[in-house]
Structure 1
Amino acid sequence: MARINLRPWREERNERLQKRFIGNLVASAVLGGLVVLGVSYYYDMQMDRQNDRNDYLKTEIAKLDRKIKEINELRAKRERLLERLNAIQQLQGNRPVIVRNFDELVRVLPDGIHYNSLIRRGESITVDGMSEDNNEISELMRRLDASIWFGEPDLSRVDRSDGLKRFNMKVSMTKPDAEEAK
């Protein structure tokens, strides 16, 4: 039988296997590095996209904040305008009432009394006047009380000077219903 030496073949095979192992190891390392770089690139790209989205949201939020501020300013202007409008409407609405009150002051005035001054403060009128007799002052108070345009009068003083009686009274103004005013 012939003797065959298998050692060189085994050594060649072992060298080939070792080169393949080292090649596989290097390929695995390169592939692992590429995977790590790919994953890193993917996450960087995702972070950039998210940062772009966040920047977009920040700019849109800033725009909305400006619009909200404008809306609040417009609401404040609207409230001021409504307040002015209400004040004007109240003045327009009270104009005939004031005229009617002064007209009624003349109607309830008995003979023998004359007014020295009429001062309106809020919803009341202070009357300073002169009379010849206390009965005329009482008649004025009854007429004011009976009028639908005035409340109960409050006489604060009566003085006698130069044969005439000076008096001071306060009477509140009322707004009768439209049916009563006719």
Structure 2
Amino acid sequence: APADFVRTIGEALRKRAFTARFEVSAAEANNIFTVGRPLGEMERPGALLLPYCAKLKGCSLRYTNGCSRCGLCSVGQAYDLAERHGLTPIAIQNYEMLEKELAGLQRGGVRAFVGSCCEAFYAKHCADFERIGLPGILVGLDSSTCYDLGQEEKAHRGEYEGQTELNLKLLGQVVEHLTDDGR
């Protein structure tokens, strides 16, 4: 259909903008997704949203918002990244919490966010992100996900027991570019 063709071309152009703006490869650009507005119009983010599934499986904080920064998983490094750049880190436990947090950030005056999720989650909830209305950039995960393993229903409820890995290199590049005061 013509609309699909236009959407595909638009997505290709957005990916090309990522390679130039973030100095990343085309493959890395495929792991960056925009929500709500094009990259060139993205404002400085105020929060870094992280999936609970990136926390260590046995972590006592896995199913809560927070991180002790013990160094055993990539979430602590992401919390450090957020702190260095003046972002509020938020560990998302389930889809309902995501909606609530995005709406709360928006009410609190935050104008954009950076987050991390798998491509399948983004594809499934793209329309939801648009409906909520807070612009952001999402960076794909660097490992197998609940969707790859057919456990997305557990994950939706915040009960997925596997562990994913944040793509810290790419997440760091995105955060640094969007929070650079000279941009």
TM-score with structure 2 setting the length: 0.21
TM-score with structure 1 setting the length: 0.22
Q: Which has the higher contact order (CA 8 A, sep 6+)?
A: 2
Larger C-alpha radius of gyration, 1 or 2? Answer: 1
Q: Which has the higher helix share?
A: 1
